[in-house]
Amino acid sequence: MSAKKTERLLNLVICLLHTRRYLAVHEIREAVPGYEQDTEESFRRMFERDKEELRELGIPLETGTNSAAHDDEPGYRIARRDYELPDIHLEPDEAAALGLAARLWQSAPLARATGTALLKLRAAGMDAPVAPAALEPRVGATEPAFESALRAVQDGRAVAFDYRAGAGKATQRRAVEPWGVVSWRGRWYLVGHDTERGAERVFRLSRIQGTVTATGEPGTVVRPDGVDLRAMVGRMATDEPRETARVTLRPGAGWELRRQATASAPDPDREGWTVVDLGFSDPERLADRVTGLGADAVVLTPPAAREAVVRRLRALAS
């Protein structure tokens, strides 16, 4: 289905949901964007196709008249009682998972589509979902390599990329058969088989330099049975903090960072903000934890950690 048709059907559903009376065909043509046809006949054909499309999607299109005598032109509407889902009751773990998914909606690869959908819902007077700030950790896919790495996993294609294993280490070219993209303790990792080294490896996405290039044919990479990707990341991606960063947080933001802090105090330069001390072993890894908070968090020291966050934000902005 084309984007133009999808938008027209969405506009039609919103229009028919938010009317209390039956709308005649000519009223629908005037009210719904996308029905600007040259002739009445072409509009009628398009509208008939759209009605069938909505019914095939399971949307209850109701037909009737506004007159008790039924002597006026038949119209259409969508009854909320038939369209809306019943009340949904979530368990605490289900609510947490939904909150984390909403965080991912705000990531760079998905933000445009999500923002457009939520904007239309709000414009139509609906309550658009917003992830509550208390549902931390913030799982933001801010790494530039996230989208291309995830696409390679979905397509089952081998990839190559430049990778810097740690601070002060040289960048090396890596060839990988990707098995999955995993979030672990607020950071994203590509898990797979390093073909040159002949071994399982995990690669933190924030350390990938430049683009992830697909080198193989689609469908040629299959994850082996019985492989636990999260267990691999937990086993291979651990390190101990060697430095301390000072980060100031806006009121009500950064709950996960507050829990991880070794110390906290009011920020003397920003009213209501809190300065926290965070242990870290690598500036880029710290940037993974801070960047997703956007303007709600500012790294004060050390300079290397502050510069890592600035680089990440500039990459996202561009």
Q: What is the pLDDT of residues 106-156, one digit of tens each?
A: 554 455 555 555 554 444 444 445 544 333 344 456 678 888 998 999 999
Say what the pLDDT of residue 262 is. Answer: 87
Say what the pLDDT of residue 197 is. Answer: 84
Query: Which tokens hold the place of 104?
Result: 């991912």
Say what the pLDDT of residue 138 is. Answer: 45
Say what the pLDDT of residue 133 is. Answer: 39
What residue ranges in the chain does DSSP mark as E strands?
A: 23-24, 61-64, 75-78, 159-164, 171-184, 187-194, 199-204, 208-214, 243-249, 263-266, 274-280, 297-301
Mark the ranges of the chain whose per-residue pLDDT is less than 70: 1, 37-38, 68-71, 85-142, 166-168, 186, 238-242, 318
Query: Which tokens hold the place of 194?
Result: 């390093």
Residues with Cβ < 8 Å from 295, sequence gap 6 or more?
250
Say what the pLDDT of residue 36 is. Answer: 78
Asked if residues 175 and 195 have their Cβ atoms less than 8 Å apart, the reply is yes
Say what the pLDDT of residue 285 is. Answer: 76
Q: Which of 81, 136, 166 is nearest to 289 (CA)?
A: 136
3 state SS of 52: helix
Say what the pLDDT of residue 62 is. Answer: 87
Say what the pLDDT of residue 60 is. Answer: 84
